[in-house]
Each structure stands twice: as structure tokens, then as C-alpha cells.
Amino acid sequence: MEVSYDIKLDQVSVRYDSVEALKNISFEVKQNDFIGIIGPNGGGKSTLVKALLNLVPLSSGEITLAPNKRMGYVPQFAEFDQAFPITVEEVVMSGGMGGKSYFFRRFKKEEKERAKTLMERLEILDLASKQIGQLSGGQLQKVLVARALLTKPDILLLDEPTASLDVQVKKEIYEILKSLSEEVTILIITHDIAEIFSYVKSVAYINQSLHYHGSDSKMKKNVLELTTGCPIEEFVQKEEYLMKDFIETEDKYHDSCHS
């Protein structure tokens, strides 16, 4: 049966003992969406990803994936042990090994070919034989994206993949994700909306419950209103280049902020 979504959350709640991390979350993620999940620290964003990956039980509600959809996951930056002695190519290839130990598994030729294609796509092919300990943060992040894509997932989940990277490298990674979102549904978590503003197709703002979900032209305005009271000036100062298009189309809102 054809369904209109890749992921559907219906009244999802997750509780850790006394903490209700997520409360009655309902929304759908469409195929080829590039959705940014934003919200404050402790707002339940990582819990949402864990729920999608079946790593935490739901206390109520339901998560449904469209039939035969597979998920790839890019771990949070700090969760990856960069001291492990392994090359870039080996890390990318390890995305296909399930639970098996890298050293006891033979790789199929097609997997090797696909790893090469992905490394080309992510512009890390020249790093293939480097030890991961030698990589910059941005390079490592690209390696982890390539790794997550090895098994041809339909849906790619990323939990704050660019935390601690500098602005230029962040932009580069978001550009790559934007182009990937032509083929893969992407759900990315960040606590900083300025980072993803001009790249995503839709946004969900989560602070325990879902405060906003949308992809219409008013998305940015609505999200800004939710995240801070009168935020445009703040953003203009911080991320002027990101806000330029927005300000030009939202002059009225800008004016009303000063009244």
C-alpha cells in the first residue's frame, strides 16, 4: 500500500522514570523531506531520534515507518572514538557490517564500489587510506555520513552532526545534505536554528511537546516567534548572511518588532 509519509508519529510519549521527555508528539515526515528538528537543550530531541531507532521504548503512542523503509544514523560527534586505529575507507565500509566484527568479514565487491562512490560524493575519496585520528572534525563528520549511507537507507537521521564545527564547514556539510535530500529523506537535529535555516524544507520545534511543525513560507517567521520573542535583530547581528533573504521578504514583521 502506498502511504503519504516515510515516518509517522502518532501521540508519541517517552518517559524516563520521573522525566517525561516527549509528550503526545504527532507529525509526519514526507518522502524526500529535509526536516530540521530544533528546540532547547533537554527538549527531547535526542530522545526522539532514539525512539525512531527503537533504542528507547515508547510509554504511549505509535511510530510507523512506510513499508520497506530503512534508516541510517549518523551518531553525535562526540560519540565516535577517533583514537581507534582504522582508516577512512574502513570506517565507511563498517556501515555495512551490521553486528559483525570488521576483521572477520569479507566485503562484497559492490559494497566497495558503493563506498568509493559515496566517498567521491562527500569529497573524501582522497582521504580513503588516512587514519581517522588524522582527520579534522568536518572531514570525520563527512566520513560518518558516508558510512551511514552505505546500506542505502531511505531515511537518514543525524543528531547534531555539526556541533563544534566552524561555520564554513557546517555550511559545506549542509550543502551536501541538501543535495542528498533529493534521494534520501533527512531528519537532522540541531539546537541552533540559524545553522539550518536556509537549507531545510521543513522544521519541527520540540520542547517536550511539539510546538510547531511546518514547511510553508511562514515557517521561518513562526519558528522565530516561538524560539525567541523578537529575534530578528539578534539573528541579523549573529548570522546576517543567513538572514538576508528572509529579511527582504519579511519586512513587515521586522517593522512590527520595533514598534
Residues that bind ligand ADP (CB under 6 A): 16, 19, 21, 39, 41-47
| Residue 139: contacted member of ligand ADP, Mg ion, none (CB under 5 to 8 Å, by partner type) | none
Nearer to ligand ADP, 8 or 15 (CB): 15
Based on the shown chain and the rule CB under 5 A, indicate whether residue 13 belongs to the binding site for Mg ion.
no
Nearer to ligand ADP, 52 or 127 (CB): 52
Give whichever of 39 and 161 is closer to ligand ADP, judged by the CB atom. 39
Q: Which is nearer to Mg ion, 158 or 232 (CB)?
A: 158
Nearer to ligand ADP, 143 or 193 (CB): 193
Integer-rounded Cα radius of gyration of the chain: 19
**What residues from 173 to 202 belong to the interface with Mg ion (CB under 5 A)?**
none
Return the range that interacts with Mg ion (CB under 5 A); candidates 41-49, 106-114, 199-207, 226-234. Answer: 41-49
CB of 83 to ligand ADP, least distance (A): 25
Residue nearer to ligand ADP on the CB measure, 47 or 185: 47
By the rule CB under 5 A, 46 interacts with Mg ion: yes
Query: From CA 235, how far away is CA 224, in angstroms rounded?
Result: 10
Contacts of 252 (CB under 8 A, 6+ apart): none
Spatial separation of the C-alpha atoms in residues 185 and 7, rounded to whole Å:
10
Q: How many CB atoms lie within 10 A of CB 164?
A: 11
The neighbouring-strand residues paired with 142 are none
Output phi, psi for 55, to 5 deg: -95, -15
**In the complex, minimum distance from the CB of residue 229 to Mg ion, in angstroms, rounded to a whole number:** 24
Query: Exposed (0-12), middle (13-18) or buried (19+): which is 71, by Cβ within 10 Å?
Result: buried
DSSP 71: E
43 contact choice in ligand ADP, Mg ion, none (CB below 5 to 8 Å, kind-dependent):
ligand ADP
Decide which of ligand ADP, Mg ion, none touches 231; Cβ closer than 5 to 8 Å per partner kind: none
| Strand duo 209-214 + 19-29: pairing | unpaired
- Angstrom CA distances, 256 to 141, 177, 233, stand at 40, 35, 12
Of these partners, ligand ADP, Mg ion, none, which one is at the site of residue 94 (CB under 5 to 8 Å by kind)?
none
Q: Which does 44 bind (CB under 5 to 8 A by kind): ligand ADP, Mg ion, none?
A: ligand ADP
Distance separating alpha carbons of residues 197 and 38, to the nearest angstrom = 11
Which residue number, 46 or 202, has a Cβ lying nearer to ligand ADP? 46
CA–CA separation, 254 vs 15, rounded Å? 39
Does 141 help bind Mg ion (rule: CB under 5 A)?
no
Q: Which residues pair with 159 in a beta bridge?
A: 189
The binding site for Mg ion (CB under 5 A) comprises 45-46
